[in-house]
Each structure stands twice: as structure tokens, then as C-alpha cells.
Amino acid sequence: MSHNSAKSIPKGATELADSKILIEAMMSEMRRVMRLEFEQFHERIDLMENKRVEQPQNALNACRKEIVQPREVRVEDEENYGFL
């Protein structure tokens, strides 16, 4: 007499267990991928911070003091749209 244990478990329960396992696997994979992405992200931040430290302070101050002159607007540049 053979005994099949799968018949004693309701079908909905196995589907629920399967979906929980699938979700766990997906979450684990997402964590792994995000860890790799953040690792690269942090490496780039470190590179940028190191470049900033290497720059002389006077160069940074000169960039901050640079003022962009506003564009001169002339009346001829303006167009009347839809008005005659």
C-alpha cells in the first residue's frame, strides 16, 4: 500500500508555499543585485570625493565667484503670437 503525502495537503496550501518560496528567491536576488549596484555607486562617490580633495581650494572659490551675465533682451526679439 503506497501512501502519497501530496494528496493530504490542500492544493491552495502548496500554491501558497510555492509563491512564498518564489518571493523569497526574488527578494534574495534583488538584494544581491542592489548590493552590487550600490557598491559601484559608492566607488564613484569615493572617486569624486578624492578628486575634490586633490583640487586646490582657490580653484573651487574661483568657480563659485564666476557670474553668468544675463542675456540682453531686445524688443525685436519678442514676437506677438496670435496677435495682429
Q: What DSSP letter does each residue of 5-29 carry, written as one string?
A: GGGGS-HHHHHHHHHHHHHHHHHHH
What distance in Å separates the CA atoms of residue 29 and residue 22, rounded to the nearest whole number?
Answer: 11
pLDDT confidence tier of residue 1, bands split at 50, 70 and 90: very low
pTM: 0.40
Please state the length of the chain.
84
- Domain ranges for the chain, please list them: 11-68
- If one counts every other C-beta atom within 10 angstroms of the C-beta of residue 59, the result is 8
pLDDT digit string, tens, across residues 13-44: 777 778 889 999 999 999 999 999 999 889 99
